[in-house]
Structure 1
Amino acid sequence: MKLGTQNQAFFPENIKEKFQYIKEVGFDGFEIDGKFLVDHLDEIKEAIAETGIPVYTACGGYTGWIGDFIEERRLNGLVEIKQILEALQEVGGKGIVVPAAWGMFTYRLPPMASPRSLTGDRKAITESLVYLDKVAEETGTTIFLEPLNRYQDHMINTLADARSYIEENGLKNVKIIADFYHMNIEEDDISEALHKNRDLVGHIHLADNHRYQPGSGSLDFKKHFNTLKEDGYDGFLTIECRVRGNDPDAEYRQAVKHLRESLS
Protein backbone atom coordinates (compact mmCIF):
# COMPACT_ATOMS: atom_id res chain seq x y z
CA MET A 1 0.00 0.00 0.00
CA LYS A 2 1.12 3.53 -0.75
CA LEU A 3 0.66 6.78 1.19
CA GLY A 4 -0.80 9.84 -0.50
CA THR A 5 -1.76 13.33 0.56
CA GLN A 6 -4.05 16.13 -0.39
CA ASN A 7 -2.79 19.70 -0.34
CA GLN A 8 -2.38 21.51 2.97
CA ALA A 9 -2.18 25.25 3.69
CA PHE A 10 1.42 24.93 4.90
CA PHE A 11 2.63 23.22 1.70
CA PRO A 12 4.65 25.43 -0.71
CA GLU A 13 2.54 27.43 -3.17
CA ASN A 14 4.88 26.91 -6.13
CA ILE A 15 3.80 23.76 -7.97
CA LYS A 16 7.23 22.17 -8.40
CA GLU A 17 8.19 23.04 -4.83
CA LYS A 18 4.90 21.53 -3.65
CA PHE A 19 5.67 18.23 -5.38
CA GLN A 20 9.23 18.25 -4.04
CA TYR A 21 7.94 18.84 -0.52
CA ILE A 22 5.45 15.97 -0.85
CA LYS A 23 8.28 13.68 -1.91
CA GLU A 24 10.60 14.86 0.85
CA VAL A 25 8.00 14.28 3.58
CA GLY A 26 7.70 10.68 2.39
CA PHE A 27 4.50 10.44 0.40
CA ASP A 28 4.11 8.22 -2.65
CA GLY A 29 1.50 10.29 -4.48
CA PHE A 30 -0.64 13.42 -4.60
CA GLU A 31 -4.43 13.66 -4.57
CA ILE A 32 -5.00 16.94 -6.32
CA ASP A 33 -7.87 19.40 -6.58
CA GLY A 34 -9.51 18.76 -9.95
CA LYS A 35 -9.77 22.38 -11.05
CA PHE A 36 -6.17 22.99 -10.05
CA LEU A 37 -5.13 20.07 -12.24
CA VAL A 38 -7.12 21.31 -15.24
CA ASP A 39 -5.87 24.91 -14.85
CA HIS A 40 -2.18 24.00 -14.38
CA LEU A 41 -1.89 20.82 -16.42
CA ASP A 42 1.43 21.55 -18.14
CA GLU A 43 3.16 22.68 -14.94
CA ILE A 44 1.89 19.61 -13.13
CA LYS A 45 3.20 17.34 -15.88
CA GLU A 46 6.62 18.92 -15.45
CA ALA A 47 6.48 18.52 -11.66
CA ILE A 48 5.57 14.84 -12.01
CA ALA A 49 8.44 14.29 -14.44
CA GLU A 50 10.95 16.03 -12.17
CA THR A 51 9.94 14.42 -8.86
CA GLY A 52 8.47 11.08 -9.84
CA ILE A 53 5.49 11.84 -7.56
CA PRO A 54 2.33 10.79 -9.41
CA VAL A 55 -1.06 12.45 -9.34
CA TYR A 56 -3.03 9.33 -8.51
CA THR A 57 -6.44 10.87 -7.87
CA ALA A 58 -8.36 14.13 -7.93
CA CYS A 59 -10.81 15.27 -5.27
CA GLY A 60 -13.11 18.24 -5.66
CA GLY A 61 -12.68 21.02 -8.17
CA TYR A 62 -16.17 20.94 -9.70
CA THR A 63 -19.19 23.13 -8.90
CA GLY A 64 -22.17 20.77 -9.03
CA TRP A 65 -22.78 17.56 -7.09
CA ILE A 66 -23.79 14.32 -8.79
CA GLY A 67 -26.85 14.36 -6.56
CA ASP A 68 -27.43 18.11 -6.70
CA PHE A 69 -30.95 19.41 -6.03
CA ILE A 70 -30.50 21.95 -8.83
CA GLU A 71 -30.50 20.17 -12.19
CA GLU A 72 -28.48 22.81 -14.04
CA ARG A 73 -25.80 22.66 -11.38
CA ARG A 74 -25.73 18.85 -11.48
CA LEU A 75 -25.25 18.87 -15.26
CA ASN A 76 -22.55 21.55 -15.06
CA GLY A 77 -20.77 19.44 -12.47
CA LEU A 78 -20.76 16.45 -14.80
CA VAL A 79 -19.16 18.55 -17.55
CA GLU A 80 -16.45 19.67 -15.13
CA ILE A 81 -15.84 16.15 -13.81
CA LYS A 82 -15.42 14.97 -17.41
CA GLN A 83 -12.76 17.65 -17.95
CA ILE A 84 -10.98 16.53 -14.79
CA LEU A 85 -11.02 12.89 -15.91
CA GLU A 86 -9.58 13.91 -19.27
CA ALA A 87 -6.79 15.80 -17.47
CA LEU A 88 -6.16 12.79 -15.22
CA GLN A 89 -5.81 10.64 -18.31
CA GLU A 90 -3.05 12.95 -19.54
CA VAL A 91 -1.03 12.58 -16.33
CA GLY A 92 -1.68 8.88 -15.82
CA GLY A 93 -4.06 9.43 -12.90
CA LYS A 94 -6.37 6.70 -11.67
CA GLY A 95 -9.60 8.55 -10.98
CA ILE A 96 -11.68 11.10 -9.12
CA VAL A 97 -13.33 11.06 -5.69
CA VAL A 98 -17.05 11.85 -5.95
CA PRO A 99 -19.60 12.00 -3.10
CA ALA A 100 -23.33 12.32 -3.76
CA ALA A 101 -23.11 15.83 -2.28
CA TRP A 102 -21.43 17.64 0.58
CA GLY A 103 -23.13 20.13 2.87
CA MET A 104 -26.24 20.36 0.69
CA PHE A 105 -28.72 18.84 3.12
CA THR A 106 -28.91 16.58 6.17
CA TYR A 107 -31.86 15.09 8.00
CA ARG A 108 -29.89 15.64 11.23
CA LEU A 109 -30.23 19.44 11.21
CA PRO A 110 -33.18 21.76 10.59
CA PRO A 111 -35.25 21.98 8.47
CA MET A 112 -35.06 18.13 8.42
CA ALA A 113 -37.40 17.98 5.43
CA SER A 114 -35.70 17.42 2.10
CA PRO A 115 -36.91 19.39 -0.94
CA ARG A 116 -36.68 16.17 -2.97
CA SER A 117 -37.99 12.63 -2.43
CA LEU A 118 -35.73 9.65 -1.83
CA THR A 119 -36.78 8.40 -5.25
CA GLY A 120 -35.69 11.69 -6.77
CA ASP A 121 -32.35 11.47 -4.94
CA ARG A 122 -31.70 8.02 -6.34
CA LYS A 123 -32.71 9.03 -9.85
CA ALA A 124 -30.30 11.99 -9.91
CA ILE A 125 -27.35 10.01 -8.57
CA THR A 126 -28.03 7.05 -10.84
CA GLU A 127 -28.19 9.22 -13.97
CA SER A 128 -24.94 10.91 -12.98
CA LEU A 129 -23.10 7.68 -12.28
CA VAL A 130 -24.28 5.97 -15.47
CA TYR A 131 -22.96 8.93 -17.46
CA LEU A 132 -19.67 9.12 -15.56
CA ASP A 133 -19.17 5.36 -15.83
CA LYS A 134 -19.03 5.80 -19.61
CA VAL A 135 -16.68 8.79 -19.38
CA ALA A 136 -14.39 6.82 -17.07
CA GLU A 137 -14.33 3.96 -19.54
CA GLU A 138 -13.37 6.36 -22.35
CA THR A 139 -10.59 7.94 -20.32
CA GLY A 140 -9.28 4.79 -18.64
CA THR A 141 -10.10 6.17 -15.21
CA THR A 142 -12.30 5.31 -12.24
CA ILE A 143 -15.07 7.07 -10.33
CA PHE A 144 -14.49 6.61 -6.60
CA LEU A 145 -17.92 6.97 -5.01
CA GLU A 146 -17.56 8.31 -1.48
CA PRO A 147 -20.03 7.74 1.36
CA LEU A 148 -20.11 10.70 3.75
CA ASN A 149 -21.42 10.79 7.30
CA ARG A 150 -25.06 11.65 8.02
CA TYR A 151 -24.23 15.21 9.11
CA GLN A 152 -22.66 16.10 5.76
CA ASP A 153 -24.93 14.23 3.32
CA HIS A 154 -28.27 12.44 3.46
CA MET A 155 -27.96 10.17 0.42
CA ILE A 156 -24.94 7.85 0.64
CA ASN A 157 -23.59 7.22 4.15
CA THR A 158 -22.18 3.68 4.23
CA LEU A 159 -20.12 1.47 1.98
CA ALA A 160 -23.22 -0.66 1.51
CA ASP A 161 -25.12 2.41 0.26
CA ALA A 162 -22.44 3.04 -2.36
CA ARG A 163 -22.32 -0.63 -3.29
CA SER A 164 -26.04 -0.67 -4.07
CA TYR A 165 -25.62 1.94 -6.83
CA ILE A 166 -22.75 0.03 -8.42
CA GLU A 167 -24.51 -3.33 -8.39
CA GLU A 168 -27.99 -2.14 -9.39
CA ASN A 169 -26.67 -0.27 -12.41
CA GLY A 170 -23.93 -2.70 -13.47
CA LEU A 171 -21.30 0.04 -13.25
CA LYS A 172 -17.90 -1.23 -14.39
CA ASN A 173 -15.76 1.85 -13.77
CA VAL A 174 -17.14 2.96 -10.40
CA LYS A 175 -15.49 1.80 -7.16
CA ILE A 176 -15.95 2.75 -3.52
CA ILE A 177 -13.65 5.05 -1.59
CA ALA A 178 -13.62 4.16 2.10
CA ASP A 179 -12.97 7.17 4.36
CA PHE A 180 -12.00 6.16 7.89
CA TYR A 181 -13.42 9.36 9.43
CA HIS A 182 -16.87 8.91 7.90
CA MET A 183 -16.79 5.17 8.54
CA ASN A 184 -16.03 5.79 12.22
CA ILE A 185 -19.40 7.56 12.43
CA GLU A 186 -21.51 5.37 10.15
CA GLU A 187 -20.17 1.81 10.18
CA ASP A 188 -20.61 -0.64 13.06
CA ASP A 189 -17.03 -1.81 12.51
CA ILE A 190 -14.55 -0.26 10.07
CA SER A 191 -12.61 -3.46 9.43
CA GLU A 192 -15.76 -5.52 8.95
CA ALA A 193 -17.14 -3.04 6.41
CA LEU A 194 -13.82 -2.98 4.55
CA HIS A 195 -13.79 -6.77 4.41
CA LYS A 196 -17.39 -7.11 3.26
CA ASN A 197 -16.77 -4.67 0.42
CA ARG A 198 -13.21 -5.73 -0.40
CA ASP A 199 -14.09 -6.41 -4.04
CA LEU A 200 -15.22 -2.81 -4.61
CA VAL A 201 -13.01 -0.71 -2.33
CA GLY A 202 -10.58 1.01 -4.69
CA HIS A 203 -9.31 3.94 -2.67
CA ILE A 204 -8.91 4.99 0.97
CA HIS A 205 -9.06 8.35 2.79
CA LEU A 206 -7.42 8.66 6.19
CA ALA A 207 -8.10 10.91 9.16
CA ASP A 208 -8.42 10.11 12.82
CA ASN A 209 -11.75 9.85 14.63
CA HIS A 210 -12.05 13.64 15.02
CA ARG A 211 -10.94 14.51 11.44
CA TYR A 212 -7.48 15.65 12.58
CA GLN A 213 -4.19 14.04 11.60
CA PRO A 214 -3.79 10.28 11.99
CA GLY A 215 -2.19 9.30 15.28
CA SER A 216 -3.68 12.20 17.21
CA GLY A 217 -6.96 10.42 18.03
CA SER A 218 -8.32 7.00 18.89
CA LEU A 219 -8.55 5.03 15.62
CA ASP A 220 -6.62 1.76 15.45
CA PHE A 221 -5.00 2.19 12.05
CA LYS A 222 -2.84 -0.91 12.35
CA LYS A 223 -5.91 -3.11 12.84
CA HIS A 224 -7.66 -1.72 9.77
CA PHE A 225 -4.49 -1.78 7.66
CA ASN A 226 -4.04 -5.44 8.54
CA THR A 227 -7.57 -6.11 7.27
CA LEU A 228 -6.74 -4.34 4.01
CA LYS A 229 -3.51 -6.34 3.69
CA GLU A 230 -5.26 -9.64 4.28
CA ASP A 231 -7.84 -8.76 1.64
CA GLY A 232 -5.17 -7.86 -0.91
CA TYR A 233 -5.69 -4.10 -1.08
CA ASP A 234 -2.63 -2.53 -2.71
CA GLY A 235 -3.83 0.97 -3.56
CA PHE A 236 -3.35 4.38 -1.99
CA LEU A 237 -4.03 5.44 1.58
CA THR A 238 -4.51 9.19 1.23
CA ILE A 239 -4.54 11.57 4.16
CA GLU A 240 -7.54 13.90 4.11
CA CYS A 241 -7.52 15.72 7.42
CA ARG A 242 -7.25 18.93 9.32
CA VAL A 243 -3.98 19.47 11.19
CA ARG A 244 -3.80 20.86 14.69
CA GLY A 245 -0.79 21.69 16.81
CA ASN A 246 1.70 24.54 17.12
CA ASP A 247 3.81 23.26 14.22
CA PRO A 248 1.60 21.83 11.42
CA ASP A 249 4.59 20.64 9.40
CA ALA A 250 6.02 18.67 12.33
CA GLU A 251 2.58 17.29 13.21
CA TYR A 252 2.03 16.14 9.63
CA ARG A 253 5.40 14.43 9.49
CA GLN A 254 4.58 12.68 12.75
CA ALA A 255 1.30 11.47 11.19
CA VAL A 256 3.24 9.99 8.27
CA LYS A 257 5.56 8.25 10.72
CA HIS A 258 2.59 6.88 12.64
CA LEU A 259 1.00 5.53 9.46
CA ARG A 260 4.24 3.95 8.26
CA GLU A 261 4.63 2.22 11.63
CA SER A 262 1.01 1.06 11.46
CA LEU A 263 1.70 -0.44 8.03
CA SER A 264 4.74 -2.38 9.22
Structure 2
Amino acid sequence: MKLATQDRSFFGESFEEKLSKVKELGFEGLEIGGDVLINRFEEIKKAVNTTGVPISSICGGYRGWIGAFEEEGRKMAISDIGEILRYTAEIGAAGVIAPAAFGIFSRKLPPFTPPRTAEEDREVLLDSLEKINVLAKEAGSILFLEPLNRYEDHMINRLEQAKSLIEQGGFSSVQVLADFFHMSMEEVNIAKSIEEENHLIGHVHLADSNRLMPGQGHIDFDSGFKALQKIGFSGFMSIECEISGDPEKSYLESAAFLKSIIIKGGGNL
Protein backbone atom coordinates (compact mmCIF):
# COMPACT_ATOMS: atom_id res chain seq x y z
CA MET A 1 0.00 0.00 0.00
CA LYS A 2 1.50 3.29 -1.14
CA LEU A 3 0.33 6.83 -0.38
CA ALA A 4 -0.10 9.36 -3.17
CA THR A 5 -1.84 12.70 -3.53
CA GLN A 6 -3.38 14.85 -6.19
CA ASP A 7 -1.47 17.99 -7.14
CA ARG A 8 -1.66 21.17 -5.02
CA SER A 9 -0.56 24.70 -5.79
CA PHE A 10 1.73 24.85 -2.73
CA PHE A 11 3.77 21.91 -4.08
CA GLY A 12 5.53 24.32 -6.45
CA GLU A 13 5.47 25.27 -10.13
CA SER A 14 7.83 22.80 -11.79
CA PHE A 15 7.29 19.07 -11.59
CA GLU A 16 10.67 18.56 -9.99
CA GLU A 17 9.49 20.89 -7.20
CA LYS A 18 6.13 19.14 -6.97
CA LEU A 19 7.54 15.62 -6.76
CA SER A 20 10.21 16.67 -4.28
CA LYS A 21 7.55 18.28 -2.08
CA VAL A 22 5.36 15.19 -2.25
CA LYS A 23 8.29 13.10 -0.99
CA GLU A 24 9.07 15.64 1.75
CA LEU A 25 5.48 15.44 3.00
CA GLY A 26 5.64 11.66 3.31
CA PHE A 27 3.91 10.56 0.11
CA GLU A 28 5.16 8.19 -2.58
CA GLY A 29 3.39 9.31 -5.73
CA LEU A 30 1.53 12.16 -7.43
CA GLU A 31 -1.83 11.92 -9.21
CA ILE A 32 -2.30 14.43 -12.05
CA GLY A 33 -4.73 15.29 -14.86
CA GLY A 34 -4.52 13.77 -18.30
CA ASP A 35 -4.24 17.11 -20.07
CA VAL A 36 -1.33 18.08 -17.81
CA LEU A 37 0.38 14.75 -18.48
CA ILE A 38 0.19 15.26 -22.24
CA ASN A 39 1.07 18.97 -22.29
CA ARG A 40 4.05 18.68 -19.92
CA PHE A 41 5.08 15.11 -20.61
CA GLU A 42 8.82 15.63 -21.20
CA GLU A 43 9.15 17.79 -18.09
CA ILE A 44 7.24 15.23 -16.01
CA LYS A 45 9.29 12.32 -17.34
CA LYS A 46 12.53 14.10 -16.46
CA ALA A 47 11.25 15.03 -12.98
CA VAL A 48 10.25 11.43 -12.25
CA ASN A 49 13.74 10.25 -13.19
CA THR A 50 15.42 13.00 -11.16
CA THR A 51 13.37 12.66 -7.96
CA GLY A 52 12.53 8.96 -8.05
CA VAL A 53 8.91 9.83 -7.23
CA PRO A 54 6.44 8.33 -9.72
CA ILE A 55 3.23 9.63 -11.24
CA SER A 56 0.82 7.26 -9.51
CA SER A 57 -2.28 7.70 -11.63
CA ILE A 58 -4.20 10.01 -13.95
CA CYS A 59 -7.50 11.62 -12.93
CA GLY A 60 -9.60 13.79 -15.25
CA GLY A 61 -8.21 16.05 -17.92
CA TYR A 62 -10.38 14.71 -20.74
CA ARG A 63 -13.54 15.91 -22.45
CA GLY A 64 -17.00 14.42 -21.95
CA TRP A 65 -17.94 11.31 -19.97
CA ILE A 66 -18.03 7.62 -20.85
CA GLY A 67 -21.70 7.61 -19.84
CA ALA A 68 -22.63 10.98 -21.36
CA PHE A 69 -26.20 11.42 -22.61
CA GLU A 70 -24.94 13.00 -25.83
CA GLU A 71 -23.14 10.65 -28.21
CA GLU A 72 -20.59 13.33 -29.11
CA GLY A 73 -19.60 13.74 -25.46
CA ARG A 74 -19.16 10.00 -25.07
CA LYS A 75 -17.02 9.76 -28.23
CA MET A 76 -14.78 12.59 -27.02
CA ALA A 77 -14.28 10.87 -23.66
CA ILE A 78 -13.34 7.56 -25.27
CA SER A 79 -10.95 9.25 -27.71
CA ASP A 80 -9.28 11.44 -25.09
CA ILE A 81 -8.94 8.61 -22.56
CA GLY A 82 -7.41 6.44 -25.26
CA GLU A 83 -4.74 9.05 -25.93
CA ILE A 84 -4.08 9.59 -22.21
CA LEU A 85 -3.70 5.84 -21.68
CA ARG A 86 -0.74 5.79 -24.08
CA TYR A 87 1.08 8.51 -22.15
CA THR A 88 0.11 6.84 -18.87
CA ALA A 89 1.78 3.60 -19.90
CA GLU A 90 4.90 5.40 -21.07
CA ILE A 91 5.32 7.28 -17.79
CA GLY A 92 4.71 4.10 -15.77
CA ALA A 93 1.60 5.32 -13.94
CA ALA A 94 -0.87 2.71 -12.71
CA GLY A 95 -3.80 3.81 -14.87
CA VAL A 96 -6.44 6.37 -15.81
CA ILE A 97 -9.43 7.09 -13.56
CA ALA A 98 -12.95 7.57 -14.95
CA PRO A 99 -16.42 7.57 -13.40
CA ALA A 100 -19.47 6.91 -15.56
CA ALA A 101 -20.10 10.68 -15.38
CA PHE A 102 -19.92 13.51 -12.88
CA GLY A 103 -22.77 15.90 -12.17
CA ILE A 104 -24.92 15.23 -15.23
CA PHE A 105 -27.81 13.69 -13.27
CA SER A 106 -28.93 12.45 -9.85
CA ARG A 107 -32.02 10.38 -9.10
CA LYS A 108 -32.05 12.05 -5.67
CA LEU A 109 -32.48 15.58 -7.08
CA PRO A 110 -35.17 17.09 -9.37
CA PRO A 111 -36.33 16.11 -11.95
CA PHE A 112 -35.57 12.63 -10.48
CA THR A 113 -36.15 10.69 -13.73
CA PRO A 114 -33.11 10.51 -16.05
CA PRO A 115 -33.45 10.67 -19.85
CA ARG A 116 -32.34 7.03 -20.17
CA THR A 117 -33.53 3.89 -18.39
CA ALA A 118 -31.16 1.92 -16.19
CA GLU A 119 -30.96 -0.72 -18.92
CA GLU A 120 -30.04 1.91 -21.52
CA ASP A 121 -27.40 3.35 -19.18
CA ARG A 122 -25.88 -0.09 -18.83
CA GLU A 123 -25.78 -0.66 -22.59
CA VAL A 124 -24.02 2.68 -23.10
CA LEU A 125 -21.46 1.98 -20.38
CA LEU A 126 -20.73 -1.52 -21.65
CA ASP A 127 -20.14 -0.11 -25.12
CA SER A 128 -17.81 2.64 -23.83
CA LEU A 129 -15.90 0.25 -21.60
CA GLU A 130 -15.51 -2.28 -24.41
CA LYS A 131 -13.90 0.38 -26.61
CA ILE A 132 -11.67 1.69 -23.81
CA ASN A 133 -10.68 -1.83 -22.79
CA VAL A 134 -9.26 -2.36 -26.29
CA LEU A 135 -7.38 0.96 -26.13
CA ALA A 136 -6.05 0.22 -22.63
CA LYS A 137 -4.87 -3.24 -23.70
CA GLU A 138 -3.11 -1.79 -26.74
CA ALA A 139 -1.43 0.87 -24.59
CA GLY A 140 -0.48 -1.56 -21.84
CA SER A 141 -2.39 0.38 -19.20
CA ILE A 142 -5.53 0.18 -17.03
CA LEU A 143 -8.79 2.10 -16.72
CA PHE A 144 -9.94 2.53 -13.12
CA LEU A 145 -13.75 2.70 -13.08
CA GLU A 146 -14.86 4.89 -10.16
CA PRO A 147 -18.26 4.65 -8.45
CA LEU A 148 -19.45 8.07 -7.19
CA ASN A 149 -22.11 8.91 -4.62
CA ARG A 150 -25.80 9.20 -5.55
CA TYR A 151 -25.70 13.01 -5.75
CA GLU A 152 -22.80 13.12 -8.23
CA ASP A 153 -23.77 10.24 -10.54
CA HIS A 154 -26.86 8.09 -11.08
CA MET A 155 -25.24 5.18 -12.94
CA ILE A 156 -22.48 3.65 -10.80
CA ASN A 157 -22.59 4.27 -7.04
CA ARG A 158 -21.27 1.06 -5.46
CA LEU A 159 -18.26 -1.18 -6.00
CA GLU A 160 -20.43 -4.15 -6.94
CA GLN A 161 -22.06 -2.14 -9.75
CA ALA A 162 -18.66 -1.41 -11.28
CA LYS A 163 -17.64 -5.04 -10.81
CA SER A 164 -20.82 -6.25 -12.52
CA LEU A 165 -20.08 -4.22 -15.66
CA ILE A 166 -16.47 -5.37 -15.80
CA GLU A 167 -17.39 -9.02 -15.36
CA GLN A 168 -20.25 -8.91 -17.86
CA GLY A 169 -18.00 -7.40 -20.50
CA GLY A 170 -14.97 -9.50 -19.61
CA PHE A 171 -12.82 -6.37 -19.57
CA SER A 172 -9.31 -7.47 -18.63
CA SER A 173 -7.90 -3.92 -18.69
CA VAL A 174 -10.58 -2.30 -16.50
CA GLN A 175 -10.42 -2.36 -12.70
CA VAL A 176 -12.40 -0.77 -9.85
CA LEU A 177 -11.44 2.35 -7.92
CA ALA A 178 -12.53 2.30 -4.27
CA ASP A 179 -13.09 5.84 -2.93
CA PHE A 180 -13.56 6.05 0.85
CA PHE A 181 -15.66 9.24 0.67
CA HIS A 182 -18.14 7.77 -1.81
CA MET A 183 -18.10 4.38 -0.08
CA SER A 184 -18.98 6.02 3.23
CA MET A 185 -22.25 7.13 1.62
CA GLU A 186 -23.07 4.16 -0.58
CA GLU A 187 -21.66 0.94 0.90
CA VAL A 188 -23.40 -0.79 3.81
CA ASN A 189 -20.02 -1.92 5.12
CA ILE A 190 -16.84 -0.52 3.54
CA ALA A 191 -14.56 -3.34 4.68
CA LYS A 192 -16.98 -6.06 3.54
CA SER A 193 -17.45 -4.42 0.14
CA ILE A 194 -13.68 -4.22 -0.34
CA GLU A 195 -13.29 -7.89 0.51
CA GLU A 196 -16.13 -8.93 -1.81
CA GLU A 197 -14.70 -7.05 -4.82
CA ASN A 198 -11.13 -7.98 -3.90
CA HIS A 199 -9.73 -9.16 -7.22
CA LEU A 200 -10.86 -6.09 -9.16
CA ILE A 201 -9.76 -3.21 -6.89
CA GLY A 202 -6.77 -1.52 -8.53
CA HIS A 203 -6.69 1.96 -7.02
CA VAL A 204 -7.98 3.84 -3.96
CA HIS A 205 -9.00 7.44 -3.29
CA LEU A 206 -8.84 8.89 0.22
CA ALA A 207 -11.00 11.62 1.75
CA ASP A 208 -12.83 11.77 5.04
CA SER A 209 -16.60 11.96 5.61
CA ASN A 210 -16.61 15.76 5.32
CA ARG A 211 -14.44 15.70 2.16
CA LEU A 212 -11.46 16.95 4.16
CA MET A 213 -8.11 15.24 4.77
CA PRO A 214 -8.26 11.72 6.25
CA GLY A 215 -8.35 12.03 10.03
CA GLN A 216 -10.50 15.18 10.03
CA GLY A 217 -13.87 13.39 9.80
CA HIS A 218 -15.42 10.18 11.09
CA ILE A 219 -14.73 7.48 8.47
CA ASP A 220 -13.40 4.24 9.96
CA PHE A 221 -10.20 3.93 7.94
CA ASP A 222 -8.89 1.19 10.26
CA SER A 223 -11.32 -1.50 9.11
CA GLY A 224 -11.09 -0.38 5.48
CA PHE A 225 -7.29 -0.54 5.46
CA LYS A 226 -7.33 -3.92 7.18
CA ALA A 227 -9.64 -5.18 4.43
CA LEU A 228 -7.25 -3.83 1.77
CA GLN A 229 -4.34 -5.54 3.51
CA LYS A 230 -6.35 -8.75 3.78
CA ILE A 231 -6.98 -8.87 0.02
CA GLY A 232 -3.31 -8.14 -0.67
CA PHE A 233 -3.82 -4.67 -2.16
CA SER A 234 -0.41 -3.16 -2.92
CA GLY A 235 -1.37 -0.23 -5.16
CA PHE A 236 -1.62 3.50 -4.59
CA MET A 237 -4.06 5.21 -2.24
CA SER A 238 -4.35 8.82 -3.37
CA ILE A 239 -5.54 11.84 -1.38
CA GLU A 240 -8.48 13.50 -3.17
CA CYS A 241 -10.09 16.08 -0.92
CA GLU A 242 -10.34 19.67 0.23
CA ILE A 243 -7.91 21.23 2.71
CA SER A 244 -8.84 23.02 5.94
CA GLY A 245 -6.31 25.27 7.66
CA ASP A 246 -2.61 25.34 6.89
CA PRO A 247 -2.14 23.01 3.90
CA GLU A 248 1.36 21.78 4.73
CA LYS A 249 0.41 21.08 8.35
CA SER A 250 -2.73 19.24 7.21
CA TYR A 251 -0.70 17.10 4.83
CA LEU A 252 1.92 16.18 7.41
CA GLU A 253 -0.75 15.28 9.98
CA SER A 254 -2.75 13.25 7.47
CA ALA A 255 0.30 11.34 6.25
CA ALA A 256 1.19 10.46 9.86
CA PHE A 257 -2.43 9.44 10.55
CA LEU A 258 -2.63 7.17 7.50
CA LYS A 259 0.77 5.58 8.07
CA SER A 260 -0.07 4.82 11.69
CA ILE A 261 -3.18 2.91 10.56
CA ILE A 262 -1.24 0.98 7.91
CA ILE A 263 1.47 -0.01 10.39
CA LYS A 264 -1.07 -0.89 13.10
CA GLY A 265 -2.76 -3.23 10.64
CA GLY A 266 0.51 -4.99 9.93
CA GLY A 267 1.19 -3.34 6.58
CA ASN A 268 4.49 -2.17 5.16
CA LEU A 269 5.43 1.32 4.02
Query: Would the TM-score normalized by the shorter structure come out above 0.5?
Result: yes
Q: Which amino acid aligns with 1:63?
A: R
Q: Which amino acid aligns with 1:165?
A: L
Q: Which amino acid aligns with 2:72?
A: E
Q: Which amino acid aligns with 1:177?
A: L
**In the alignment, does 2:112 pair up with 1:112?**
yes
2: distance between equivalents of 1:189 and 1:156? 17
CA deviation after TM superposition for structure 1 residue 56, in Å: 2.1
2: distance between equivalents of 1:244 and 1:56? 24
Q: Which residue of 2 aligns with 1:259?
A: 258
> CA offsets per residue over residues 214-259 of structure 1, 9 Å max, x none?
00111121221111112211111111111112x1111111111100
> CA offsets per residue over residues 40-73 of structure 1, 9 Å max, x none?
0000001101111111210000111000011101
Query: Number of residue pairs matched?
Result: 263
Q: Which residue of 1 aligns with 2:131?
A: 131
Q: Which residue of 2 aligns with 1:52?
A: 52
CA deviation after TM superposition for structure 1 residue 18, in Å: 1.0
What are the within-5 Å matches in structure 2 for residues 241-252 of structure 1?
A: 241-245=241-245, 247-252=246-251
SS at match of 1:10: helix
SS at match of 1:244: coil
Q: Which residue of 1 aligns with 2:177?
A: 177
Q: Which residue of 1 aligns with 2:142?
A: 142
What are the within-5 Å matches in structure 2 for residues 7-26 of structure 1?
A: 7-26=7-26
CA deviation after TM superposition for structure 1 residue 184, in Å: 0.2
SS at match of 2:198: coil
Structure 1 consecutive aligned stretches of length 4 or more whose deviation exceeds 4 Å? none
2: distance between equivalents of 1:216 and 1:241? 11
> CA offsets per residue over residues 139-164 of structure 1, 9 Å max, x none?
11111100000000000000010011
Residue ranges of structure 1 left out of the alignment (5+ in a row):
none
CA deviation after TM superposition for structure 1 residue 13, in Å: 2.2
1: distance between equivalents of 2:12 and 2:109? 37
Residue ranges of structure 2 left out of the alignment (5+ in a row):
264-269
2: distance between equivalents of 1:29 and 1:106? 33
SS at match of 1:199: helix
CA deviation after TM superposition for structure 1 residue 88, in Å: 0.8
Q: Which residue of 1 aligns with 2:62?
A: 62
2: distance between equivalents of 1:137 and 1:89? 10
Q: Which residue of 1 aligns with 2:102?
A: 102
SS at match of 1:262: helix
Q: Which residue of 1 aligns with 2:266?
A: none
Q: Which residue of 2 aligns with 1:224?
A: 224
> CA offsets per residue over residues 132-183 of structure 1, 9 Å max, x none?
1111111111111000000000000000100110111111111100000000
Q: Which residue of 1 aligns with 2:210?
A: 210
SS at match of 2:9: coil
Q: Which amino acid aligns with 2:170?
A: G
RMSD: 1.0
SS at match of 2:219: coil
CA deviation after TM superposition for structure 1 residue 9, in Å: 3.3
Q: Which amino acid aligns with 1:55?
A: I
SS at match of 1:31: strand
Q: Which residue of 1 aligns with 2:152?
A: 152
CA deviation after TM superposition for structure 1 residue 10, in Å: 2.7
| Identical columns (%) | 44
2: distance between equivalents of 1:135 and 1:153? 24
1: distance between equivalents of 2:185 and 2:119? 25
Deviates more, 1:176-185 or 1:116-125: 116-125
Q: Which residue of 2 aligns with 1:91?
A: 91
**What TM-score do you get using the length of structure 1 for normalisation?**
0.97
